[in-house]
Chain A
Amino acid sequence: MKLDNIYKEEKKSAIAKLSEIIITMASRPSGLIGLSILVFHIILAFISPYIAPHDFKAIDPTLMLQAPSAEYWFGTDDLGRDVFTRTILGGRTALTITFFGSLIALLWGGLLGIFCGLVGGKIDDVVMRIVDAFLSIPWILAMLLIVSLLGTSTEVLIPALGFFYGKGIVRVARAATHDVIAKDFIVSAKARGHSNFSIIWNEIIPNVRDAILVEGAMRWSWMLLGFSSLSFLGFGVSPPTPDWGLMISNARGLMSFAYWAVIAPIVGLSSLIIGINLTADAFAKALGIDRSTKAPV
């Protein structure tokens, strides 16, 4: 048995697998860039309260709309607040809310999708038509309704965003399950008499997990954009908490003579979204899923 050594591959722990995936991701230039941007933003979100040079809510009428200088790196806004401080702090809320939001979206969307794919038939039909019905409602209007009824607290925003962004995951998870369900190993498990729960947990989830995780990562970046839109409209974070969407909204009218107040949050927001997107793509490739050949669901 000469081939033994060549094909030997021990079962790896979850950490070993994860680090292997991350190394594969980083071996691509796009993956490395994406990962670095994402990690930079996450670190920044943790340390920004300690490194912020100014108080983010200190209003000073004498310093209104100052151009960037040595003291105020990114200039000041219409209330004389430091744009740099507000920019590095501005991603924290968005990142936290959307991270937990996409976790919720993944959980309910993924599980419901797998369940529908497995049981099929009438239940699947009914559930999917309900999901379709929700997909046809413009999410932003529905969000505005929820937020104006229940307020803009984190406890409301996370589950609401999680709900609206999970609908798409249901479809992806269901489609991925349908791919697996026809395979003989599922038939074999059924013929042996395993319970539905055991089939979902042992046979299906390991085979659809990758597709769903990648979809979740993509949803994260969309949710970030969605959440910033809410803030932009004034329904996300309430002032004076620094937030990119809110900052863009405030400074947009002054763009023609105080461009600095609007450019910094735009760069922050778009770089984070690009970072997440590139990471998700590299993640997909590292797992062997080629998104370029798949039609968007």
Chain B
Amino acid sequence: MTDIIQKVKNLSIGFRSKKGDEILILKNISTNIKKGETVGIVGESGSGKSTLALAMMGYVKHGLYTIGGECQFNSSNLLKMKSKDLEKIRGRKIAMIPQNAGQALTPNLKIGYQIDEALQLHSDLNEKEREKKISELLNKVRLPSPETIALRYPHELSGGQQQRVAVAMALAGTPDLLLLDEPTTGLDVTTQAHVLELLNFIAKDTGTSMVYVSHDLGAIAQVSDRIIVMYSGEIVLEGPSRDILKRPIHPYTHGLLKSIPKLSLAGLPESMPGSQPQPGTIQSGCSFFDRCNFSDENCKNNSPQLEFLKDLNTSVRCFNYEKLINENQVSQTVNKIKNKSQDKEILNLSEVSISYAKQKLLDQIFNRISDDNPTVKDININIKKGETIALVGESGSGKSTILKSIAGLLRTKDGLIRFDENRNLSSDLKERDPNDLRIIQLIFQNPDESLNPNHTIEEIIAQPLKLYFGLKGEELKKNIIDLLQKVRLGEFYTSRYPRQLSGGEKQRVAVARAFAAKPDIILCDEVTSALDVSVQAAVLNLLQQLKENFGTTYIFVSHDLAVVRAISDRVAVLYQGRLCEVGPSNDVYRFPSHPYTEVLLGAVLEPDPDIKPKLVAEDIVEERPPEKGCSFQGRCSRIVGDICKKEIPPWQLTDSGNAIRCHIPIKELQKEQF
């Protein structure tokens, strides 16, 4: 058994509650990590996956303590080791790559210095050798021109480059085991695909074992050989990655895979009911019982044990897994979206430009914005009543900026925002009358930030009702309960505070607050990206249903192309604040498309080991849009020539009514992309 590098045996970690009860975060976990293997640990937030990964390097978070079991690395228990001995292992034998590399790098030290520091600590090289090793490492993580990168400070690098530096630092000690805690979560889709590809390369090249922790099955599918699925502090399924993704035999994984929207399938995926139980609340029975479609009386009273199935090489914690073995594949059923979009135009943006440039004194006096190269430029979009239009693009593409301007939170430089064909909306919040404000409501990305933590749910939902309709007393209360029921929350939620709700419930409250104003348009700013996958589908379904009932128009901003595919009728692709492509979502997701859309579509990670991302362009980050010509010229792999740098490309229509802004004729795009 020499090829086992890390052995976790009966590990339980927990904390003591105020009442003195022992509450378990990890319940009796046993698993092995083999040499050269990449293991993906997947689970919702609160499932204990990070706690497990940290325990593998002998670290237990403050406030938690080891209740039992051990983590054996090279046959010594890390959890019992003295901190002096641990220091020798951490970095040299086991290295960690954190989620947010931007925060993990020291801001005032040069990249080269920080890597050198890691080398000094974790290797015995002399100065000359270290110098060579630094550029070797930077080369290995494929950073362009290592010599210049080494002299830069972290803030001068993009998020993807910072993550690469973190990988280089972790490799400095040539570790046997690499722990990655959500290393690509904060990154753009394209960057994420590139980093994952790098990790795959490194795993092959160095033979390092990796433990990859993530909530994203798409990312896990790309890197891991074996997958461990965690739920409520327990391993519920463990096995080879292909089998788990193709034929999951635990109901939780089954449901999870069904609830992820996929590029190949338009329409909303089925959602999983309920949410993960809080630690310490399950007394008896299976912890997944509440949410399971396959459960029976036995599941309620008895807890299933992890059972190893030899012929499948898989461990599963379920009494009824046989039912799932027979269901060969995850057959995804989707609820097709039915939108009664009318021909009537509800919102029209014409020639909208927005600038973040600081006003000069003279401009301030004349109340104008002078900026030749604004952040967002020439946006022309017609939005029809009752449709869902999505704005997609990487961070910095100006999608949220446009939303803010529609809401009146950000002044536009030029252009008009027209409501209902004839009503001009001022770009200044103070000049809009209350009705103008009521018709457009916002739902934010993170419900933790968008709900006042010191207000009860009742007070939160009451605000728009009081402000716009002047409701009081019984009528107000009735309306609040009515709204809560519409978002499928009960009456008893009124007296609670946001902190007592789960992420999905909080987002439902935010949805209820938006609908309380009886708006015509709802602006959704990345509404599902802070939620767990299983909850995401539920919120999307809720939004769709409310829309069908009320005929609301959605403007949906997201970086997740699969989610956009699921919910939207039309898609507008943005790069550097300029439109690249606009069209019905069926056509945008089909070739031919704008070269940038091609890049985005290629980078989407699907929870399927057979679909690999296609990396078309480099993941360079551009700070400012180019002064002249096509906005995508800096990264385009299909650049035609000087014309791209000098002239703004014309709009071209495809046969299906999809508008693409490119110099390459549609016919040629079609040839190259198929």
B496 within 8 Å of A by Cβ?
yes
What residues of A have a CB within 8 angstroms of the CB of B266 in the complex?
A: none
Please name the residue on chain A nearest to B456 by beta carbon. Answer: A11
- Complex Cα spacing A207 to B442, Å: 22
What residues of A have a CB within 8 angstroms of the CB of B452 in the complex?
A: 185, 202-203, 206-207
A255 within 8 Å of B by Cβ?
no
What residues of A have a CB within 8 angstroms of the CB of B432 in the complex?
A: 193
What residues of B have a CB within 8 angstroms of the CB of A2 in the complex?
A: 277, 281, 290
A256 vs chain B, min Cβ distance (A) = 53
Q: Is the CB of B467 within 8 A of A6?
A: no
- Interface residues in B265-280 by Cβ distance below 8 A to A read 277-278
Please name the residue on chain A nearest to B407 by beta carbon. Answer: A191
Q: List 30 A-B contacts (CB under 8 A).
A: A3-B281, A4-B492, A7-B500, A8-B496, A10-B495, A11-B456, A11-B495, A184-B444, A184-B450, A185-B449, A185-B451, A187-B409, A187-B442, A188-B442, A188-B444, A190-B429, A191-B409, A191-B441, A192-B463, A192-B464, A192-B468, A193-B429, A193-B437, A194-B467, A202-B455, A206-B452, A206-B454, A206-B455, A207-B452, A207-B453
A interface footprint on B399-438 (CB within 8 Å = 1, 0 otherwise)? 0000000011100000000000000000001001010011
Residue picked from A3, A203, A206, most chain B C-beta under 10 Å: A3
- Complex Cα spacing A188 to B278, Å: 30
What residues of B have a CB within 8 angstroms of the CB of A202 in the complex?
A: 452, 455, 463
Q: Is the CB of A191 within 8 A of B429?
A: yes
- Complex Cα spacing A160 to B407, Å: 46
Evaluate whether A188 and B450 lie within 8 angstroms (CB atoms) in the complex, with A9-B497, A10-B495, A193-B467 already known. Answer: yes
Q: Is the CB of B492 within 8 A of A9?
A: no
A189 within 8 Å of B by Cβ?
yes
B interface footprint on A205-238 (CB within 8 Å = 1, 0 otherwise)? 0110000000000000000000000000000000
A297 vs chain B, min Cβ distance (A) = 22
Evaluate whether A3 and B463 lie within 8 angstroms (CB atoms) in the complex, with A9-B500, A183-B449, A190-B409 already known. Answer: no
- Complex Cα spacing A207 to B408, Å: 25
B198 vs chain A, min Cβ distance (A) = 34
Name the 5 nearest CB pairs between A and B, nearest first. Answer: A206-B454, A184-B450, A193-B437, A184-B444, A184-B449
- Complex Cα spacing A11 to B490, Å: 17
Interface residues of A, dominant DSSP: helix
Please name the residue on chain A nearest to B455 by beta carbon. Answer: A206
Q: Is the CB of A7 within 8 A of B496?
A: yes
B497 vs chain A, min Cβ distance (A) = 7
B28 within 8 Å of A by Cβ?
no
- Complex Cα spacing A9 to B457, Å: 12
What residues of A have a CB within 8 angstroms of the CB of B441 in the complex?
A: 191-192
The tally of CB-CB contacts under 8 A between chains A and B is: 77
What residues of B have a CB within 8 angstroms of the CB of A203 in the complex?
A: 452
What residues of A have a CB within 8 angstroms of the CB of B437 in the complex?
A: 191-193
What residues of B have a CB within 8 angstroms of the CB of A192 in the complex?
A: 437-438, 441, 463-464, 467-468, 517
Of the residues A3, A183, A190, A193, contact of B278 by C-beta under 8 Å: A3
A-B contact sample (15 more), CB < 8 A, given A11-B456, A188-B513: A2-B290, A3-B278, A3-B281, A9-B497, A9-B500, A187-B409, A188-B442, A190-B409, A191-B429, A191-B441, A191-B442, A192-B464, A193-B429, A193-B432, A203-B452
What residues of A have a CB within 8 angstroms of the CB of B450 in the complex?
A: 183-185, 187-188
Please name the residue on chain B nearest to A2 by beta carbon. Answer: B281
- Interface residues in A171-194 by Cβ distance below 8 A to B read 183-185, 187-194
- Interface residues in A34-85 by Cβ distance below 8 A to B read none
A residues adjacent to B (C-beta < 8 A): 1-4, 6-11, 183-185, 187-194, 202-203, 206-207
Q: Is the CB of B446 within 8 A of A9?
A: no
Please name the residue on chain A nearest to B501 by beta carbon. Answer: A7
Please name the residue on chain A nearest to B497 by beta carbon. Answer: A9
Please name the residue on chain B nearest to A6 by beta carbon. Answer: B281
- Complex Cα spacing A4 to B463, Å: 25
- Complex Cα spacing A10 to B457, Å: 11
Please name the residue on chain A nearest to B498 by beta carbon. Answer: A185
- Interface residues in B436-486 by Cβ distance below 8 A to A read 437-438, 440-442, 444-446, 449-456, 463-464, 467-468
B329 vs chain A, min Cβ distance (A) = 33
- Complex Cα spacing A188 to B433, Å: 16
A86 vs chain B, min Cβ distance (A) = 46
Q: Is the CB of A9 within 8 A of B495?
A: yes
- Complex Cα spacing A200 to B445, Å: 23
What residues of A have a CB within 8 angstroms of the CB of B440 in the complex?
A: 191
A184 vs chain B, min Cβ distance (A) = 4
What residues of A have a CB within 8 angstroms of the CB of B490 in the complex?
A: 1
What residues of A have a CB within 8 angstroms of the CB of B496 in the complex?
A: 7-9
- Complex Cα spacing A146 to B434, Å: 49
Residue picked from B281, B454, B490, most chain A C-beta under 10 Å: B454
- Complex Cα spacing A12 to B442, Å: 30
A interface footprint on B230-273 (CB within 8 Å = 1, 0 otherwise)? 00000000000000000000000000000000000000000000
What residues of B have a CB within 8 angstroms of the CB of A4 in the complex?
A: 492
A28 vs chain B, min Cβ distance (A) = 14
Q: Is the CB of B456 within 8 A of A6?
A: no
Of the residues B277, B407, B442, contact of A3 by C-beta under 8 Å: B277
A1 vs chain B, min Cβ distance (A) = 8
B179 vs chain A, min Cβ distance (A) = 27
What residues of B have a CB within 8 angstroms of the CB of A184 in the complex?
A: 444-446, 449-450
Q: Is the CB of A191 within 8 A of B408?
A: yes
- Complex Cα spacing A4 to B490, Å: 11
A interface footprint on B335-356 (CB within 8 Å = 1, 0 otherwise)? 0000000000000000000000
Q: Is the CB of B454 within 8 A of A207?
A: yes
- Complex Cα spacing A184 to B409, Å: 12
What residues of A have a CB within 8 angstroms of the CB of B429 in the complex?
A: 190-191, 193
What residues of A have a CB within 8 angstroms of the CB of B463 in the complex?
A: 189, 192, 194, 202
Please name the residue on chain B nearest to A205 by beta carbon. Answer: B454
A17 vs chain B, min Cβ distance (A) = 11
A189 vs chain B, min Cβ distance (A) = 7
- Interface residues in B361-382 by Cβ distance below 8 A to A read none
B136 vs chain A, min Cβ distance (A) = 40
- Complex Cα spacing A35 to B513, Å: 42
What residues of B have a CB within 8 angstroms of the CB of A10 in the complex?
A: 495
What residues of A have a CB within 8 angstroms of the CB of B407 in the complex?
A: 191
B555 vs chain A, min Cβ distance (A) = 14
- Complex Cα spacing A190 to B434, Å: 11
What residues of A have a CB within 8 angstroms of the CB of B467 in the complex?
A: 192-194
A interface footprint on B280-291 (CB within 8 Å = 1, 0 otherwise)? 010000000010
Q: Is the CB of A193 within 8 A of B444?
A: no
- Complex Cα spacing A1 to B273, Å: 12
- Complex Cα spacing A9 to B468, Å: 29
A interface footprint on B492-519 (CB within 8 Å = 1, 0 otherwise)? 1001110010000000000001000100
A125 vs chain B, min Cβ distance (A) = 14
A210 vs chain B, min Cβ distance (A) = 9
- Complex Cα spacing A207 to B451, Å: 12
- Complex Cα spacing A10 to B278, Å: 20
B298 vs chain A, min Cβ distance (A) = 18
